[in-house]
Amino acid sequence: MEVLAAVFTTRPRADGTLDLDVLLWQRAMDPDAGRWALPGGVVGPDEDVDQSARRQLADKVDLTRVAHLEQIGVFSDPGRVPGARVVATGFLGLVPLGAEPSLPPDTRWHPVAALPPTALDHGGITGRAAGRLRAKLSYTNIGFALAPAEFTLATLRRVYAAALGHDVDPTNLHRILLRRGMLEPTGTTAPPGPAGGRPAALQRFTVSELRVTDPFAAFRPPDRPA
């Protein structure tokens, strides 16, 4: 039995938009030496899968930067690891924008939309985790784990757009989160940008643990009907 964690964050592109990135490390040994893999490893005899996932992640990323970690499923295809029967429990982890934890030399962030060659079934597990994240952005407050502690609506829009894979209307996003009681103003403003203008109000999530807020909601791309 092993655990594998797909840890995501959003990171800036040169054009000011954000990418949804996943944490991968480059395998040094077979099978699939040289390919990129999710952090994880064998569950120890005295730990459960949640304890093991946190221990394995601590080797690759500062756990104080991981704002959310949850199981996403069991991967048990008999041929997923050549020559051995290895069942994996997959996890979804989230790191807020701007946290920038220190990483070992064999580990780096990669855009989910342009993954390098991945080891074994780790690309599929990454896709499953990204799909879970996108679904939960609609019906839970999971955005708290991707957003900074305080943010403008423009920043929150960029975070949601990166994670969902499509743009969102900031006014609609603000209205939905306010209606669910998940967002509140801090009473302060962001520093003015280089172009000047009126400083943007800073917001924050009211709850920093996962809550189901609207089980039937869905964020759809702008060209699709609600």
Is 225 a domain residue?
A: no
Cα 57 to Cα 22, 64, 66, distances in angstroms: 13, 11, 9
The pTM (predicted TM-score) of the whole model is: 0.92
Does 32 share its domain with 135?
A: yes
Is 120 a domain residue?
A: yes
Among 156, 181, 180, 182, residue whose Cα is nearest residue 169: 156
Q: In whole angstroms, what is the distance from residue 178 CA to residue 7 CA?
A: 27
Write out the residue range of the structural domain in which residue 111 sits: 2-139
Q: Over the stretch 113-157, which tens digit does the pLDDT of each residue have? A: 999 999 999 999 999 999 999 999 999 999 999 999 999 999 999
Does 116 share its domain with 200?
A: no
Q: Over the stretch 34-84, which tens digit does the pLDDT of each residue have? A: 999 999 999 999 999 999 999 999 988 988 899 999 999 999 999 999 988
What is the CB neighbour count within 10 angstroms for residue 92? 25
Q: 113, 139, 165 — which closes off a domain?
A: 139
Is 69 a domain residue?
A: yes
Compute the Cα dihedral for 214, 67, 154, 183 and give only its sign. positive
CATH code for the domain in which residue 114 is found: 3.90.79.10
Does 38 share its domain with 112?
A: yes
Does 92 share its domain with 197?
A: no
Does 97 share its domain with 69?
A: yes
Is 134 a domain residue?
A: yes
Helices (H), the chain: 49-58, 122-139, 153-164, 170-179
Model confidence at 226, pLDDT cuts 50, 70, 90, reads very low
Is 210 a domain residue?
A: no
Is 223 a domain residue?
A: no
Helix axes 153-164, 122-139, angle to 10 degrees: 140
Does 100 share its domain with 190?
A: no
CATH code for the domain in which residue 186 is found: 1.10.10.10
Q: Which residues contact 71 (CB under 8 A, 6 or more apart)?
A: 49, 50, 89, 90, 91, 92
Does 127 share its domain with 27?
A: yes
Does 151 share its domain with 132?
A: no
Number of domains in the chain: 2
Is 216 a domain residue?
A: no
**Residue 17 · residue 161 · CB < 8 Å:** yes
